Amino acid sequence: MRLTTLFVFVALLAKAQFTYVLNQQVPVIIDQDTLTMPWAGGLNAAQFNTMDLDFDGKEDLVLFDRMANRVITFLNVDDQYIHASEYEPFFPDETSGFMMLRDFDCDGRKDLFTKDVQGIKVFRNISEPNQPPAWEQLTFYTGFNGPRSPVLLTKGFSGKINLQLQSDDLPAIVDMDGDGDLDIMNVKFVGSSTIEYHQNFSMERYGTCDSLDFERITQYWGGVEECECGEFAFGEPCATGGRQKHAGGKSLLVLDVDNDGDMDVFFSEAECTRVFQLTNEGTNENPVITSAIDFPTATPVNILAFPSVYYEDVDFDGKKDLLASPNIFAREFLQTNLRQSTWFYKNTGTSELPQFSFQQRDFLQNNMIDVGDNAVPAFFDADADGDLDMFIGTFVNGTRASLFYYENIGTRTEPVFEFFTDDVIGLSFNNFTNIKPQFADVNGDAKADLVFTASNQFGVGTNLYYVANTSSAGLNFTGQQIQSLNFPIPWNAENVLLTDINNDLLPDLLIGKLNGSIEYWQNTGTPTSPNFTLVESDYLGLGPSILRQNLSMASADLNSDGKADLVLGDQLGRLTIINDFKNQTDASSGTTNILFNSLSETYINQNLGGRVWPAIANIFNTNRPAIVVGNALGGLHILQPDESQALPESPQITVYPNPVVRENTNVINISVDRPAFVYLVSITGQELGSPILMQGQQLYQFRVDGLPAGIYILRFFINDRSFVRRIVIH
């Protein structure tokens, strides 16, 4: 009888082999100011909402950043926002395009509206006090015996149709007619850029606000049509021969800004840098628009890429303020400064008659590390003081890419990072974009050099460069030039890791490609003259996959077993760890649920900011290094090893039931807290079958109905040590 035939994998236990917690406490100093939430992860295209996340009676801040498809949550703690990432995984994975939190059923809990390829999805808020956010997706009645629709419907000219939007559009979801239920305004789906009004008849038909029963009242609200950026036609179509609009996204904000009892509209579009106020000179029932002016009047919004505006109280004074940010899903203009992409206008008027006073272009961003976009971290003891300093590569810093440097002025165990420069060795003068740094010896002098990939000023043609380090301790680039390693990076790849794969003391190349595969290029050159030869196109069995595009990598011993592990980051903002990757043939054993969530008390795989770039650095000088993750939003997260999950010196082995009474069960359950080889041995010392490799923290079962009654030994081999457990079968 072979033991291998008897074992059955049951389930993953609570602990994991690679376990981390988000550390938000490491201080960061910029211009003598200590940031309040430096590791919140940056912002680029933030959409603003408020919601009481923790049921304390105060509205918290919930953002959706379209560039990372990421929900970002902040708790209101004593009238100050604190990043609270533990709430973020509890928002629907289907959230995409936009997120608007509105209480449509009047139960005091804000529900969630989001984009779908067919229109608008709705998730009812079913959260309970002292519990994480919870949601129920709604479906909608299409007609007698008809299938339920997953998106909102409206009554058109020929019956119910999808309430459809262009992919980039932001509708307005607001009570237009003052009857207590939520209506919808959007720009016409096809053809001219006129405004549609969809009235909700929930109150009229059912006497309650808890339904979403829409009819399209008009496709020409207010008699206004956008013709070009800043050009509108009033009471008549745009001039014949003019370009037909709705070629790009449109955004609407609706509120009564002049306190005259009717709703006004604030209009913006993807191809324009401004926001326009369309003042309603009629009524809600008969709207009339005759002019369009820049908004706000004093210091108008002027954002280079698709400005959108939001109306929420973010300074805790009980009056809603105005916020503006670009509604983009990717960098569309190299000149866009995404370090200052959240404009804040304070409401200095009243709730009834708001007046907006411009305050800043970096709301929230000024209290976190935010280098713009594509923050790629690397660590090295640059000043030779015994602790690790931090470098961050960027896509662009203003108009050209650069390399940021934060000096660690703390200690080896308690880091404190202080901003020193945003342009190490003047890299910005080389007209690079998309700088991704790392440190490796590429010229055979036993000193770590600065190695980086970068593209030209137009974002194409990625190459591998280095600057030689002339210091035996720390970094010194004095008099050194940027040199090319003469390696042609494939056009569909930009993430490169230098690491010794075949243990010949030469740095090899792993290339993460946009399609989700990894190429392995072996260094067949010499220590002073590297040369790279393609060995595998789908290294570790990682071929093209839409689920892990834009793979990034970092390598080090993460669990103190003396073997190199590999961390993969992908376009969805998630991490995978492959244990002892040099001795693996595929990545199927990779660990993904590595980050502890305090609300669910489980380990999860969390979106850390769209595209992510991990770096491994022992910034706390512990047995296990930390993982510092940069992301597409220009920010960083620190994943600190979860010491609560540190393994004790002696293994924890569980065997039950013992003794086994066959009248009750024919199964023995076995678990061990770390990987182990397990042998079943008779009392006379005879091995019964082949050994089994048990993964740590997993529960296994084997059947004993084929074994005679008697005494047996389970022998566990762990790191060359033997542990035994006696079992008795009756």
The CA distance from 456 to 462, in Å, is 7
The CA distance from 616 to 625, in Å, is 7
pLDDT of residue 556: 94
pLDDT of residue 585: 86
Angle at 301 between CA 300 and CA 303, to 5 degrees: 145
pLDDT of residue 108: 95
pLDDT of residue 7: 46
Question: 708: closest CA among 678, 682, 670?
Answer: 682
The CA distance from 642 to 595, in Å, is 9
- In the block, tokens 């992919």 appear at 167
pLDDT of residue 648: 60
> What are 470-475's contacts with CB under 8 Å, separation 24+?
471/384, 471/447, 472/447, 473/384, 474/381, 474/382, 474/383, 474/384, 475/380, 475/382, 475/383, 475/450
Which stretches of the chain score pLDDT less than 70?
1-17, 240-247, 332-334, 398, 458-460, 644-649, 695-698, 719-720
pTM for this one? 0.85
pLDDT of residue 24: 94
Residues in the chain: 730
